[in-house]
C-alpha cells in the first residue's frame, strides 16, 4: 500500500523562506515585463533585496522557534514530508549566510551594472532569487531527490546568470564551460546517488545511514563506487584541484556580481550538500563502515591538500584580478573541506562551527573584494592588477577597505580569515592530521605574496594615468560592511563561535530521522 505525504499548513509555514523567494521572483518577473524599457531596472534590485530580507526574517523566526522547542524539551528539528526536508539549525544557519551574502552582492551591484554590460539587467536581479532558493534547499534537504532538485535549481539559474553578458565572447565561453562542467558534475553526483539507493533501498539520508552497515557487508565495491562518484562530482562543483581548470575562465567571463555569487553562495551550497550527505551517512555510520569512513576521509583530505597547494601556486602567476580570486577560491575551498576530512567523532565535534566560521569570513572578504574590483574595473575599463595602481591616491578609503579584505584572505592576525584558518588548523592538530596542517601553513605563507601583489599596486604604483574612481553609495556601503565584519570576526571570534555552538548539535542536526 502506497502512502502519500502531503504538505499541511504547518509545513508551509516552515517552508515560508523558500516560498517567499519564489513569490518575489515571480512578482518581479511580471513587473519587469510590464515596465517600459526607459524605466531604470534598479527598482527590480531593490525588490530583490526586499525578498531576501523577508526570507531572512522567516529563517530567524524558525531559529527562535527551534530554540524555544529545545528549551521546552521538545525535538529541536522539524521533519517535513517524511524526512525529505529538515528544518534544523544546520540548515538555518547556512540559509542566513546564503541570504546575507546574496543581499550584499545585489546591493553592491546597484548603480554599478551598466546596460551595455548586462542587457538583461532586470532578469539578472530576479534570477538570483531561484538560485538562492536552490542553495537553501541544498542546506535543508534530508533526501537525495530533494537535494538534487535544489542542486539543479541553483545550477540552471547560475547558467543563465553566467551568460548574462550576451555581447561578450568571454561570457559565451564561460557559460558554455560552466554548463558542460556543471552537467558533468551533476551526472557524477546523480550516478553515485543511484548506486547508493540501489544498495541501501532508500533515498532518505536517515534510511541510507541505517542500511549502510548491511550494504557495506553485502555490496562493498558498489558502496565505494557510489561515494567516490559523488566525491568526483562535488570536486567539480567546488572547483577542487585537479578538477578546477574551468573556474578561472568562468569567473573571468561572468559579470563580476555573478562571479561573486558563484564564489560564495554556489560554493557554500555545494559544501552544505556535501556535509549533509557525508556526515549523515558514512561519517556517523556504525563500526562495520569504519574502513569506508577512513578511505573517504583520506580521499577528501587529499583533495583538500591538492586544492590548497594548486590554488595558491596558480595564483602566483596571475595578472588578471578575477582569475587570481578564482584560484584563491580553489585554495579556500580546500580549507573549507578540511573540517569534513578530519575525524568527525567526539574528538572533533566542533567541525561544523569551524567550517561555518570560516565560511562567514570567506563570504565577507570575497564579496567585499569583488565589490572593490567592480568599481575599480568600471573606472579603468580593465580587470588586470594594474587597474589598482595608485588606488590609495585615487580612492584612499576604498584602498584601506581593500587592504583589510586582502589581509583577511592572506590570513593575517586581527582578521576573520586569520582566526578561521587558525580554528581549522587546531582541528588538524587535535585529530593528529599534521600533514594537512603543514599544507595549510605552507600555503598561507606563500599566499602573502599573492595578495600583496594587489596591495603593492595600490600603494607603491603611481597610477597617474588611471582615471578617478567613483564609488556608488550602495557599493561603498557593502565594501565597508564587509571590511568592518572582517575586523569584527578577527577581534571578537569567541562570541560568534559560542553562538554557533549554542545552536548546532550533532545529535539534533545530524542524527535526526
Other Cβ atoms less than 10 A from the Cβ of 38: the count is 5
249-259 pLDDT, tens digit each: 999 988 889 99
Highest mean pLDDT among 100-104, 202-206, 278-282, 373-377: 100-104
**pLDDT value of position 136:** 96
Q: What is the mean pLDDT of residues 183-195?
A: 95
Q: Is 504 contained in some domain?
A: yes
Q: What is the mean pLDDT of residues 460-472?
A: 76
Q: Look at the pTM and tell me if it is higher than 0.75.
A: yes
- Please count the CA atoms within 13 angstroms of the CA of 113 that sit on its side-chain side: 28
Per cent of the chain over pLDDT 90 is 54
SS3 of 402-425: the string is HHHHHHHHHCCCCCHHHHHHHHHH
Q: Is the pLDDT of residue 507 over 80?
A: no
**pLDDT value of position 1:** 42
Q: What is the mean pLDDT of residues 387-415?
A: 91
Q: Is 113 contained in some domain?
A: yes
Q: Is 9 contained in some domain?
A: no
CA separation for the pair 122, 258 (Å, rounded)? 14
Per cent of the chain over pLDDT 70 is 91
**Are the C-beta atoms of 434 and 443 separated by less than 8 Å?**
no
Q: How many domains does the chain have?
A: 1
Q: Is 505 contained in some domain?
A: yes
317-344 pLDDT, tens digit each: 899 999 999 999 999 999 999 998 886 5
Q: Is the pLDDT of residue 118 over 70?
A: no
Question: No. of H helices and E strands in the chain?
Answer: 22, 2
Q: Is 76 contained in some domain?
A: yes
DSSP category for residue 264: I
**pLDDT value of position 7:** 62
Three cell numbers, residue 498: 559560542
Q: At what angle do helices 267-278 and 351-380 cross, to 10 degrees?
A: 160
Q: Give the H/E segment covering residue 87.
A: strand 85-87
90 Cβ contact list (under 8 Å, min separation 6):
139, 275, 276, 352, 504, 509, 510
CA distances 140 to 4, 22, 75, 356, Å, are 21, 16, 16, 15
Q: Is the pLDDT of residue 76 over 80?
A: no
Q: Is 36 contained in some domain?
A: yes
Three cell numbers, residue 22: 519564489
Q: Is 127 contained in some domain?
A: yes
Q: Is 407 contained in some domain?
A: yes
**pLDDT value of position 69:** 76
Cell 535549481 sits on residue? 153
Q: Higher model confidence: residue 147 or residue 77? A: 147
**pLDDT value of position 2:** 47
Residue-range definition of the domain harbouring residue 245:
14-510
The alpha carbon of residue 257 and the mean position of all alpha carbons in its chain are separated, in whole angstroms, by 14
Q: What is the mean pLDDT of residues 214-236?
A: 92
CA separation for the pair 471, 442 (Å, rounded)? 36
Q: What is the mean pLDDT of residues 417-436?
A: 90
**Are the C-beta atoms of 480 and 365 separated by less than 8 Å?**
no
**Are the C-beta atoms of 302 and 368 separated by less than 8 Å?**
no
Amino acid at each position: 500500500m502506497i502512502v502519500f505525504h502531503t504538505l499541511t499548513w504547518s509545513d508551509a509555514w516552515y517552508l515560508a523562506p523558500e516560498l517567499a523567494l519564489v513569490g518575489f521572483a515571480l512578482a518581479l518577473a511580471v513587473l519587469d515585463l510590464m515596465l517600459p524599457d526607459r524605466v531604470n531596472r534598479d527598482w527590480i534590485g531593490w525588490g530583490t533585496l526586499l525578498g531576501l530580507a523577508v526570507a531572512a526574517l522567516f529563517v530567524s523566526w524558525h531559529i527562535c522557534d527551534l530554540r524555544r522547542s529545545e528549551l521546552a524539551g521538545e525535538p529541536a528539528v522539524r521533519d517535513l514530508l517524511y524526512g525529505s526536508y529538515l528544518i534544523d539549525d544546520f540548515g538555518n544557519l547556512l540559509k542566513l549566510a546564503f541570504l546575507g551574502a546574496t543581499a550584499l552582492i545585489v546591493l553592491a551591484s546597484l548603480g554599478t551594472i551598466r546596460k551595455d554590460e548586462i542587457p538583461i539587467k532586470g532578469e539578472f536581479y530576479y534570477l538570483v532569487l531561484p538560485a538562492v532558493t536552490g542553495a537553501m534547499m541544498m542546506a535543508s534537504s534530508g533526501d537525495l531527490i530533494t537535494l538534487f532538485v535544489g542542486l539543479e535549481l541553483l545550477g540552471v539559474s547560475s547558467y543563465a546568470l553566467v551568460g548574462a553578458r550576451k555581447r561578450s565572447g568571454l561570457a559565451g565561453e564561460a557559460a558554455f564551460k560552466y554548463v558542460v562542467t556543471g552537467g558533468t558534475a551533476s551526472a557524477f553526483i546523480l550516478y553515485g546517488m543511484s548506486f547508493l539507493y540501489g544498495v541501501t533501498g532508500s533515498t532518505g539520508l536517515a534510511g541510507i545511514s541505517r542500511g549502510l552497515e548491511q550494504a557495506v557487508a553485502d555490496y562493498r565495491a558498489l558502496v565505494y563506487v557510489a561515494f567516490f562518484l559523488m566525491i568526483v562530482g562535488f570536486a567539480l562543483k567546488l572547483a577542487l584541484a585537479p578538477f578546477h581548470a574551468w573556474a578561472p575562465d568562468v569567473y573571468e567571463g561572468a559579470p563580476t556580481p555573478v562571479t561573486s555569487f558563484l564564489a560564495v553562495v554556489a560554493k557554500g551550497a555545494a559544501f552544505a550538500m556535501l556535509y549533509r550527505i557525508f556526515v549523515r551517512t558514512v561519517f556517523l555510520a556504525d563500526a562495520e563502515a569504519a574502513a569506508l569512513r577512513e578511505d573517504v576521509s583520506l580521499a577528501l583530505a587529499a583533495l583538500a591538500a591538492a586544492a590548497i597547494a594548486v590554488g595558491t601556486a596558480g595564483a602566483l602567476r596571475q595578472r588578471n584580478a578575477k582569475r587570481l580570486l578564482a584560484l584563491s577560491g580553489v585554495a579556500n575551498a580546500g580549507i573549507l573541506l578540511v573540517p569534513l576530512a578530519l575525524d568527525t567523532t567526539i574528538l572533533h565535534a566542533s567541525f561544523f562551527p569551524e567550517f561555518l566560521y570560516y565560511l562567514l569570513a570567506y563570504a565577507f572578504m570575497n564579496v567585499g573584494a569583488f565589490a572593490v574590483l567592480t568599481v575599480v574595473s568600471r573606472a579603468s575599463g580593465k580587470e588586470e592588477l594594474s587597474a589598482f595602481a595608485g588606488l590609495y591616491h585615487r580612492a584612499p578609503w576604498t584602498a584601506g577597505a581593500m587592504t583589510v579584505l586582502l589581509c583577511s584572505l592572506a590570513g593575517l592576525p586581527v582578521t576573520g580569515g586569520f582566526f578561521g584558518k587558525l580554528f581549522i588548523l587546531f582541528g588538524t592538530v587535535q585529530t593528529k592530521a599534521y600533514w594537512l596542517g603543514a599544507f595549510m601553513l605552507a600555503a598561507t605563507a606563500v599566499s602573502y605574496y599573492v595578495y600583496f601583489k594587489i596591495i603593492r599596486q595600490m600603494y607603491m604604483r603611481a597610477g597617474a594615468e588611471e582615471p578617478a574612481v567613483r564609488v556608488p553609495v550602495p557599493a561603498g556601503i557593502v565594501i565597508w560592511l564587509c571590511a568592518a565584519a572582517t575586523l569584527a570576526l578577527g577581534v571578537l571570534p569567541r562570541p560568534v563561535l559560542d553562538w554557533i555552538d549554542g545552536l548546532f548539535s550533532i545529535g539534533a542536526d545530524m542524527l535526526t530521522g
